[in-house]
Structure 1
Amino acid sequence: MEPFPRGKAAIVSAATFGIGEMPDYSAIDLGAKAAVAAVAAAGLQLGDIDAVFSSFPSDFFGLAAAEYLGIQPRLNNNNRPGGSAFMTHVIHAANALATGACDAALILYGSNQRSASGKLVAVPRHAPFESEYKARYPISSYALAAARHMHEYGTTREHLAEVAVAARGWANLNPEAFARGPLTIEDCLNARMVSDPLSVQDCCLVTDGAAAIVMTRADRARDLVAEPVYVLGGASATWHNDYIAAMPDLTVTAAQESGARAFGQSGYQPGDVDVLQLYDAFTLNTILFLEDLGFCPKGEGGRFVEGGRIGPGGSLPVNTNGGGLSCVHPGMYGLFAITECVRQLQGVCGERQVPGAKLGIAHGNGVILSNQATLVLGTGDTL
């Protein structure tokens, strides 16, 4: 197994800001608000931060966050493989902290996507094998993968709807969530089709919002907060760029690799996990990642989520904040999956709190099922 500084780094705080609509804020304004809140919650000052990891939509060089916050870091990183970027930031920060390259790392993100455009913003692409078919980017690619999963394994639109309904159930317990209120299987099946077989209820939200976390070495963490969350494993894997045509099998993702490596580093297995935060840009994602991370066999994801299994009161709590489907999705969701995992393990989630949660997964998805990154996080009891 590849070396990883298991338990040597910890997340000491997590904060969110501006979930929903924040028309008077730029993306970096939002991110800075979350960052200031996270640093304060860790009992630190901005001047204590000597590593900054960010991936703002309009900050190509990745230097704007440090300047905006008045930080002059020793280490700066804006690795950006899509929505999984923030899981890779945690991996890089854990290694940097363990080797002494930095002492306190800030990971932040913000986007005003809803206020700025009100819709998903497609990036310019040159896809010679796809553009002729006038596909809608990115949803048509995910729709193609969903159709293949249905063909191969008998997955149904009802199974996809189970994912959306479970996410809404959690969102209804979360005061921060943007989309709240009743949602039924029938509502999903009758929803407007966007790219067959995916309806509007199978697609993530378009919101504003920001999130931030602070990481330190484990030996310092307990001096800062009562409940540090330790990084027990972290791995990423890239199997292709952003063209669905490059996937050898539309039903299998690199989460098979990232998950196996991260679990191997941690010493735990899927059956040990108490809370699971998955990047649910589309309902299909949740099903694919449940399979590829080892929570159920390949092809069984649809049947696995039946009967509210991943919703409130179910046997496997998944996306307990409401996920990208019902809580927040401002361009990229990855850091919000991490913040929710941290909050669950710190026991501060109020009505949606999973009792006794000690071990959690935060899994990120980048671009078109392209980059996958998995974090295994745990309380002090898991060290």
Structure 2
Amino acid sequence: MTVSIIGTGQSAYTRHPRAGTTTSGVISRAVRNALTEAGLTPADVDGFAVSSFTLGPDHAIDLAWRMGLKLTWLMQDTNGGASAGGMLQHAVRAIEAGDAKVIVLATGDLMEGQAFAELVANYNSATRDHLSPLPMNGPNALFAMLTTKQMETLGLTREDYGHIAIAQREWAGLNPDAVYRNALTMDEYLGAPVVATPLGRFDCVPPVTGADAVVLTADPGDGTPRANVLSVRASYNADQQAGDGLATGLRSIAGPAWNESGIGPEDVGLACVYDDYPSMVVAQLADLGVLPAEEDPSIFIKRRIATRELPVNTSGGQLSAGQAGASGGMHGLVEAARQLRGTAGLRQVHAQHAVVSGYGMVLYRYGACATMAVLERGE
């Protein structure tokens, strides 16, 4: 059985949500938009999964009730940037097992100032007890250290990271839903205020309010534009936070995922990787094998990413479109599905296969969760 994404939806990202905006409201809007695109109604849905940092005190069942969903399968994922891949993995298995026929996966958050500050300060007990008391602001300092280590290890420069941010901003210029669409120059990138050396303003994701959703079902076989899920894998606590952070959990699951999908990283025409920082784009592309081990990363960035020869984060990624809390990982899945279904508008590329990665849940030093999905354009 082939499981496919047949609809995508988004609740518009914004840095400044209107008064009265709620988390349940933005998620519900994304779900409605996804169902409309799929030609379905809430009555057709029998499976639902959600991930959100700010949905509380409500839970998945409360939101499902508010949206009028009657279900035989339900889950709630708490793993942030890796939640989309985790929910996708469970949803594919559920459809294959016959537990549900039509499943909607949704993510979203209200990230106005106070909500974001509380999330950063109380992300988990490690953050609350050991990081928040230090004179540092959220994960930026942690990833500044990781970026410095990556620069030293791989011989990268700030200009190399700048090429990634600039290329994604060029893609964002073609995406009417991206929060930041104005062209970005290398001088602007290098001259931006320092956040935590070597990270500048354009190296760090802007928090936004918004939501994303996808609709999954078994391949309808009726010519409906779709993105087929060839493989989805996940890795949690790959090194128990004992490594240097330069290798993500993707390294151990990439081989099995490529084998299951029947293609290799060289066949990928689109990569949507979790981009909270440019250094993590490099790390994930390397662990996925899209950045070949034998190739100089700096040359690869200039030759493939800067020129947009290899489409990477064609929505603009989180660095330009924004990070809507737990929707960070779903953002890439929605974009990949839109590209493979031919609904990406001016930024449309002609890829047959896409890889999507999720990364998240910073513990003491870096993300503990990683997911990857290999998708194929439906015939």
Instruction: Please report the TM-score for the alignment, with normalisation by the length of structure 1.
Output: 0.89
The residue aligned with 2:353 is 359
Q: Aligned AA for 2:23?
A: A
Q: Mark the runs of 5 or more structure 1 residues left unpaired by the alignment.
A: 1-6
Partner of 1:295, secondary structure, is coil
1:74 aligns with 2:68: no
**CA pair 162-187 structure 1, distance change in 2 beyond 3 A:** same
Alignment of 1:75-224 (within 5 A): 75-114=73-112, 117=115, 121-124=119-122, 125-127=124-126, 134-218=135-219, 221-223=220-222
Q: Tell me the number of residue pairs that the alignment of Structure 1 and Structure 2 aligns.
A: 366
Aligned twin of 1:25 = 21
Q: CA deviation at 1:259?
A: 2.3
Q: Any residues of structure 2 matched to 1:42-53 within 5 Å, and which?
A: 42-53=38-49
CA deviations over 1:291-330 (Å, ceiling 9, x no partner): 11101245843432125x325x522100000000001211
Task: Within 5 Å, give how 1:226-245 maps onto structure 2.
Answer: 226-239=224-237
1:255 equivalent in structure 2: 250
Q: State which of 320, 323, 330 in structure 2 corresponds to 1:335.
A: 330
Deviation (angstroms), 1:204: 0.8
Counterpart residue identity of residue 138, structure 1: P
Q: Classify the secondary structure of the residue corresponding to 2:373.
A: strand
RMSD: 2.2
1:305-344 alignment, distance < 5 Å: 305-306=301-302, 309-311=304-306, 314-332=308-326, 333-344=328-339
Q: TM (normalized to structure 2)?
A: 0.90
SS at match of 2:36: helix
Shift of 1:157: 0.9
Q: The residue matched to 1:105 in structure 2 has which SS?
A: strand
Question: How far is 1:357 from its partner?
Answer: 1.6
Q: Gapped runs of 5+ residues in structure 2?
A: none
2:52, 2:325 within 8 Å by CA — same for their partners in 1? no
Structure 1 residue 260 displacement after superposition: 2.3
**Equivalents in 1 of 2:108, 2:12: separation in Å?**
9
Corresponding letter in the other structure for 2:9: A
* Percent of pairs with identical residues: 27
What displacement does 1:137 show? 2.2
Counterpart position of 2:371: 373
1:276 maps to 271
Conserved 8 A contact 2:254-2:372: yes
1:251-285: CA deviation from partner (whole Å, max 9, x where unpaired): 11111123222212101111101111011011111
Tell me: CA distance 1:260–1:19, structure 2 relative to 1, closer, same or farther (3 Å): same
